Amino acid sequence: MLVPSPAWGVAEAEEASSARQGKKSVVGKVPSGTRILDIRLGSDGALTGRLRDELGRPLPDARVVVSRGRLTIASTRSDEHGDYRITGLVSGVYRVEVATTESIVRVWAYESAPPQADKQLDLVAKLPAALAVRGQGDDGFDPAHRFGLDGEGGLDSFEMALLATSVISLTLSAIMLAQHDELQDSIDRRPASN
């Protein structure tokens, strides 16, 4: 009984209704466009993986939550390399959440997994905007990196054109202001005519 968030209530209602009628539980349909990942559990029944942020850097101390419907099955935190390990899972469909990222996974026992099943669940977590602090720490947005002073990064062509236009506009404004002041001074020096 695992379907993405908007349909959790529907799936639970269908399951409860089926249980009252003595039928097998019915799982709600997964909306089109949702990709279900096949993952092979380790020989000890552990789900392992690595967490990275959108820039590809390891995501340390991130909370990983595995749930079915509204029931949290397990949770853990990633280590300093972004690696995590959750034990005690059985084959089935789960929702895995990290920060604001949610994935639907179908985990398989080590022996019964299909050949295309991945050995671990590597996730790219999208951090909430409140957690993305720009200009501080090692977040890739420091000025040395942003302006290419470290030999990497730098401005793209649009930003370079915008910067050049701004500098030219500022320079021309200063020249025009100086000429205006000179003209005003020359007018002020002329004798007044009656």
Per-residue pLDDT for the chain (194 aa), expressed as one digit of tens each? 333 444 333 333 334 444 444 443 334 445 555 678 999 999 888 999 999 988 888 989 999 999 998 899 999 999 999 999 999 889 999 999 988 788 899 999 988 899 999 999 999 887 665 544 554 455 445 555 556 655 566 667 788 888 899 999 999 999 999 999 999 988 888 887 76
Q: Please state, in angstroms and rounded to a whole number, the distance separating the CA atoms of residues 28 and 7.
A: 7
- Tell me, yes or no, if the pTM score tops 0.75: no
For tokens 């993405």, name the residue: 4
Question: Are residues 65 and 4 in contact, defined by beta-carbon separation less than 8 angstroms?
Answer: no
Q: Report how far residue 27's alpha carbon sits from residue 104's, in angstroms, rounded to the nearest whole number.
A: 13
Q: Regarding the domain delimited by 35-133, which CATH topology (the fold level of the hierarchy) does it fall under? A: Immunoglobulin-like (2.60.40)
- Order of strands across the sheet with 63-68? 36-40, 101-108, 92-98, 63-68, 71-77
Residue 23, φ and ψ in degrees, nearest 5: -95, 165
What are the residue ranges spanned by the domains of the chain? 35-133
Rounded distance between C-alpha atoms, residue 12 and residue 25, angstroms: 9
